[in-house]
Amino acid sequence: MATSPSSTAVNAAITTKASLRGVVFDMDGTLTVPVIDFPAMYRAVLGEEEYVKIKSKNPSGIDILHHTETWSPDKQKRAYQIIADFEKQGLDRLQIMPGASELCGFLDSRNIRRGLITRNVKEAVDLFHQRFGMIFSPALSREFRPYKPDPAPLLHICSNWDVQPNEVMMIGDSLKDDVACGKRAGAFTCLLDETGRYDSPEYQNVEFKPDYKVSSLVEIHKLLEKDFNLTPCPNSGTHK
Adjacency order of strands within the sheet including 113-117: 3-4, 7-9, 212-214, 188-192, 168-172, 22-25, 113-117, 139-140
Q: How far apart are CA 175 and CA 232, in angstroms?
A: 28
191 φ/ψ angles, rounded to the nearest 5 degrees: -95, 125
The yes-or-no answer on residue 28 being catalytic is yes
User: Euclidean distance between the first and final Cα of the chain, in Å?
Assistant: 35
164 Cβ contact partners less than 8 Å away, ≥ 6 residues apart: 158, 186
What number of residues does the chain have?
A: 240
179 burial (CB, 10 Å; 0-12 / 13-18 / 19+) is buried
Q: How far apart are CA 103 and CA 131, in angstroms?
A: 17
- Nearest to 32, CA basis, from 108, 88, 91: 91
The yes-or-no answer on residue 26 being catalytic is yes
The set of catalytic residues is 26, 28
